[in-house]
Amino acid sequence: MKLNKVTVDDLNVKGKKVLVRCDFNVPLKDGVITNDNRITAALPTIKKLIDDGGKVILCSHLGKPKNGPEDKFSLAPVAVRLSELLGKEVVFANDDEVVGENAKKAVAQMNDGDVVLLQNTRFRKEETKNLEPFSSELASLAEVFVMDAFGSAHRAHCSTAGVTDHIKETAVGYLMQKEINYLGNAVETPVRPFVAILGGAKVADKLNVISNLLEKCDTLIIGGGMAYTFLKAQGKEVGLSLVDDSKIDYCKEMMDKAEKLGKKLLLPVDTTIAAGFPDPIDAPIDVKVVDTDKIPADMEGLDIGTKTQELFADAVKSAKTVVWNGPMGVFENPILAKGTISVAQALAETDATTIIGGGDSAAAVIQLGFADKMSHISTGGGASLEYLEGKTLPGIAVIADK
């Protein structure tokens, strides 16, 4: 699939003010960035615009401030880290109203190739509602808008969509291009066999992903908490395992759909069980592995079992394209992380194109040290899921077509 959008390569930004929506929504602990992947991922576009002599004005949200400005959601630490990574000054325009006196002054003083970072866009209550006047205020700073925040592209907010009501010259950045190319090719024109692996907590979160991927893939693997609703739909006892009774019919429908389409739907054949959910989540826990038709009524399934690890790894071995979203068990606990690790390992060992759809599975792959063995790790959890559902993301739709 070819992305038919104007890209930064099509722009001539020399001397122009360019507003770039990045995804700098990084994890922070006591004001320290604990993972700067999203900042690193934004560098190619920023460097390109600097090299082309643009005046680069960056904006992003960070976290979920509820009632306007809050120090702990300030983008100040991002400005420092970004400046280190770029090896040049990044002026942080610290305005509670985002586009305030500091921002206007900083922008007015820019030379070609300079970089300014605005304060957290969610300090403005209009942002998540895509309301004026914030969209026009943001737009008033620049002549060109570049969308490079894939992780926020599934939201129509002022800084991802509304701003394009006022800036007509628009483009996508390199990160957006890369994300869309990988995810788009995997889903629309995969090299087959195409194996999709879904895990995570709830079936309800991934209804449309399951349905869409069933149509596109050759084999759909389901693990994690969501597998137990499927097992229950097969008439199995699942004990205290996570189940969504309202989705049992849906799971039956999906199993029928797989059969009709001639697709393989793989579910766990054994599972790691314990007397209950670990508390705290990483506490030591007594576990054993049983077949999925032998789960005692007073036990809870918390990870896939050893036979399932092999079954899933075998399916991955024969694949040419693999897309994975969601952990296979309660991977936050080392005793219950084995299933997730085994899937990560299987993906690391194959020559297939391997795509990790963000969120917990991306975190797990990075944490386990397999990151450089994957073809692509998406920076967007929710956004990549919506993409895999086949939805049009608003942050992509608003950008000019080529």
Residues that bind ligand ATP (CB under 6 A): 200-202, 205, 224-225, 242, 301-302, 325-327, 329-330, 332, 358-361, 381
- Which of 126/386 has CB closer to ligand ATP? 386
Q: Is 200 a catalytic residue?
A: no
Position of tokens 């990870």?
A: 303
Q: How far is the CB of 354 from ligand ATP (least distance, A)?
A: 16
State the Cα torsion 340-345-350-354 to the nearest 10°: 50
Q: Choose, from 47, 104, 202, 264, the residue flagged as catalytic.
A: 202
Contacts of residue 165, Cβ cutoff 8 Å, sequence gap at least 6: 135, 136, 139
Query: Are the C-beta atoms of 26 and 39 separated by less than 8 Å?
Result: yes
Q: How far is the CB of 277 from ligand ATP (least distance, A)?
A: 7
**What is the spatial distance between Cα 257 and Cα 251, in angstroms, rounded to a whole number?**
10
> Judged by CB, which is closer to ligand ATP: 202, or 263?
202
Q: What angle do CA 71, 74, 80 make, to 5 degrees?
A: 125
- Contact call for residues 253 and 203 (beta carbons, < 8 A): no
Those residues whose C-beta lies under 8 Å from the C-beta of residue 379, and which sit 6 or more positions away, are: 23, 37, 38, 41, 150, 151, 175, 179, 358, 362
Two tokens, residue 378: 């998406």
- 87 sits in the region (left: phi over 0; alpha: psi -120 to 50; else beta) called left
| 38 noted as active-site residue | yes
Shortest Å, Cβ 177 to ligand ATP = 22
Contact indicator for 126, 132 with CB cutoff of 8 Å: yes
Least distance between ligand ATP and beta carbon 126 (Å):
26
Does the active-site annotation cover 124?
Answer: no
Minimum distance, C-beta of residue 287 to ligand ATP, in the bound complex (Å): 12
Residue found by looking up tokens 């420092």 in the block: 80
Q: What is the smallest separation between the CB atom of 111 and ligand ATP, expressed in angstroms? A: 40
Nearest alpha-carbon partner for 186 in 7, 338, 1: 1
What is the rounded distance in angstroms from the CA atom of residue 400 to the CA atom of residue 366? 34
| Tokens encoding 150 | 């894939």
If phi > 0 it is left, if psi is from -120 to 50 it is alpha, else beta; for residue 224 that is left
In the complex with ligand ATP, the residue whose CB is nearer, 200 or 239, is 200
Contact 392, 156 (CB under 8 A): no
Q: Which is nearer to ligand ATP, 218 or 360 (CB)?
A: 360
* Token pair listed for 58: 């960056």
CB of 339 to ligand ATP, least distance (A): 8
Q: Which is nearer to ligand ATP, 119 or 152 (CB)?
A: 152
For residues 200 and 326, the answer to whether their CB atoms sit within 8 Å is yes
Catalytic residue among 5, 38, 81, 338: 38
Q: Is 178 a catalytic residue?
A: no
- Torsion from C-alpha of 380, 382, 384, 387, nearest 10 degrees: -140
Of 63, 184, 382, 390, which one is the catalytic site residue? 382
CB of 102 to ligand ATP, least distance (A): 33
Q: How far apart are CA 211 and CA 386, in angstroms?
A: 12
- Catalytic annotation, pick one of 301, 359, 380, 381: 359
The residues assigned a catalytic role are 38, 202, 359, 382
